[in-house]
Amino acid sequence: MPALSAPPWIDNTASEVANLDKLTYAGNLESLASVVESPRYHFYQVDICEGVALDAAFAEFKPTAVMHLAAESHVDRSIDGPADFIQTNIVGTYSLLEVTRRYWSGLPDQKRAAFRFHHISTDEVYGDLDGAENLFTETTSYSPSSPYSASKASADHLVRAWSRTYGLPILVTNCSNNYGPYHFPEKLIPHVILNALSGKPLPVYGDGSQVRDWLYVEDHARALVEVLNRGTVGETYNIGGHNEQRNIEVVKAICDLLEELAPDRPEGIDAYRDLITYVEDRPGHDRRYAIDASKIQRELGWVPVETFESGLRKTVQWYLDHPEWWQRILSGAYKLDRAGTVKSQ
């Protein structure tokens, strides 16, 4: 998923924020340049599977809430190598739950009552939807199709078990496909943008008719803040963008925006759409996801601000305006100076 926006806390509140990250291949500290100098931002390079390091970070920072977003999330990678997904998404969630439970249990009564553990998950745990009108609700049965979604489903079950067994005050959210600035280039939308700008093929699985609900990252960030601050303990909230699109239509929409915003196409390319290339579908590919987000709207008043058209335009323009960010990812340079680009604790 894209890096969550800092402004809800760093710019608009007096809160302190601790960011715990292992810094795997997808961890890019350059995405945090706007907050790294803030005295209220703290970074810990920690693997959530390492309980001792987590204990130390908790003891030093003394959080009033935990938002668990750490996950391996790329479906293709989970098919090629599921072990990392089992380790991070299942074992890591267990480790974080246990560290949190020990910390929470030791808090004074008032702080203990106010504490929250917010687990951020995905709509992919629900599996494939039948028909064109059905929607995922918070009570839809789980039926994951990939090693990634199965590992996230396992994590969801662990979080709910720690609530039921130990009383840990949890919140769970299941979101649809995120997109927006700072999205790692292996994901569909940035991959298509950057391939098109380079004149490379735009791979589309199967016939491209798979349907996804697209959620702009800033809308997702706002929803997470609302759930953390006002959600009912023990409840699940589905977060969707109300923007169902077929994959092929997403790719074509990006091509059309690039015709407008980047008309100087790579040499030898008559139209960006000419780069579309259909490839063999991946194993177990779900056909349709779609979220019913009426609960979070009804109970917390959240609705997405961006349409798919407005969010996609902002996203394409951001990548056009920030070549230095994605070029350093494509070259691997972003990994080289990590120690010097972050204020560590």
- Domain containing residue 150: 17-336
Identify the pLDDT of residue 213: 95
In a domain, 31, yes or no: yes
Report the candidate in 290, 309, 299, 294 with the shortest Cα–Cα distance to residue 130.
290
How many Cβ atoms from other residues are within 10 Å of residue 212's Cβ?
A: 22
Q: Is the CB of residue 244 less than 8 Å from the CB of residue 304?
A: no
Task: Please report whether residue 319 resides in a domain.
Answer: yes
Contact in structure between 130 and 86 (CB atoms under 8 Å): no
Q: Is 75 among the domain residues? A: yes
Backbone angles phi, psi at 342, to 5 degrees: -140, 145
Q: Which residue has the tokens 């039926």?
A: 143
In a domain, 85, yes or no: yes
- Which amino acid makes up residue 171? L
pLDDT for residue 143: 96
pLDDT score at 284: 85
Helical (H) or strand (E) element with 66: strand 65-68
Range list of β-strands (E), 115-243: 116-122, 170-175, 177-179, 202-205, 211-216, 236-239
- Specify the pLDDT at position 131: 77
Which residues belong to the active site?
A: 123-124, 148
Measure the CA–CA gap between 300 and 313, rounded to whole angstroms. Answer: 28
Single pTM value for the model = 0.93
CATH of residue 231's domain is: 3.40.50.720
Which string of DSSP letters, residue by residue, matches 87-116?
IIIIIHHHHHHHHHHHHHHTS-HHHHHH-E
Domain presence at residue 344: no
Mean pLDDT of successive 10-residue stretches along the chain, which has 345 residues: 49 88 92 91 96 97 97 92 97 98 98 98 94 90 96 98 98 97 95 98 96 95 95 98 95 98 96 97 90 97 96 98 96 74 44
Degrees, nearest 5: CA angle 300-309-183: 75
Q: Is residue 5 part of a domain?
A: no
Number of domains comprising the chain: 1
113 falls within a domain: yes
Residue 3 within a domain: no
- For residues 20, 22, 25, 26, the Cα torsion angle rounded to the nearest 10 degrees is -20
Q: What is the DSSP string of 302-329?
A: ---S--HHHHHHHHHHHHHH-HHHHHHH
pLDDT score, position 11 = 79
DSSP 291: B
Question: Which residues, 6+ apart, have CB-to-CB distance to 174 below 8 Å?
Answer: 121, 122, 123, 125, 126, 136, 138, 156, 236, 237, 238, 239, 291
Q: What is the pLDDT of residue 14?
A: 83
Cβ–Cβ under 8 Å, residues 289 and 211: yes
The two tokens of residue 39 are 């005295």
CB 103 within 8 A of CB 58: yes
